[in-house]
A = this chain, B = another copy of it.
Amino acid sequence: MNLLLLEDGDFTAADQVRLSGRRLAHMQEIQQVAVGDSLRVGRINGLMGHGEVTALTSSHAELSVQLSTPPPAKLPLTLLLAMPRPKMFRRILQHCATLGVPEIILLNSYRVEKSFWQTPFLQPAVVRENLLLGLEQARDTVLPKVRIEKRFKPFVEDQLPGLINNQLALVAHPGDYPACPRGIDQPLTLAIGPEGGWIPYEVDKLIEAGMQPVQLGERILRVETAVTALLARLY
């Protein structure tokens, strides 16, 4: 935890918060803070700054906070992701929040197993918790948006062209395609397939909607590795 994230409900006054639960345990067990210590804090979806510990008991901590620094910029990106396997999904949410992805659209695909959509990791509270873990890591406060689109064809035909809006749009897919560009400095819609990749029909539909296929070389990456590798190369 490189940043202690504060919920609106933690505030007892404009510059006072009261914490318990996971964050208190982390402060006491990992950070071993004492009264008087100063911690990096940030208000969820708001500013960052410092908090001084003014009280500490086994049940709660009180901090006096000063927030004045804006969070780091997000990537100018919409990530279109075939719904991953649940355990990997959890880690990908964290990675995406850490790397600064502002919006993730979870899409169905032929190779997405139906059971993936049943995972408890898709419950809004669990999604939020994993995004917060990623934000704490990166020192960011702004929660990415996560949207679910379970119907591939209607989404790609009816919504994707408007989303791309004539800006750069890439679909990552192994094959005889141009290499993924580097260090682009522009808004992007990026589509990443499931383990095993998009099926040819899906690649065709994504291209029809305005996406250009690109590849990352002959090594086949796991989805979570591909997400990080693509974002690191593109931005």
List residues of A whose CB falls within 8 A of some B CB.
Answer: 2, 72, 95, 98-100, 137-140, 182-183, 216-222, 225, 228-233
Contacts and interface: CB of A to CB of B under 8 A. Distances in A.
Nearest to A228: B228
Given A229-B229, A230-B232, 19 more contacts: A72-B217, A95-B225, A98-B219, A98-B221, A98-B222, A99-B219, A99-B221, A99-B225, A137-B221, A137-B222, A138-B221, A139-B219, A216-B232, A225-B228, A228-B229, A228-B232, A232-B232, A232-B233, A233-B233
Q: Chain copies in the assembly? A: 2
A219 B233 CA distance: 16
A2 B220 contact: yes
A110 to B, nearest CB: 17
Contacts of A98: 219-222, 225
Contact of A182 (B182, B228, B229): B182
> Most B CB atoms within 10 A — which of A99, A139, A217, A219?
A219
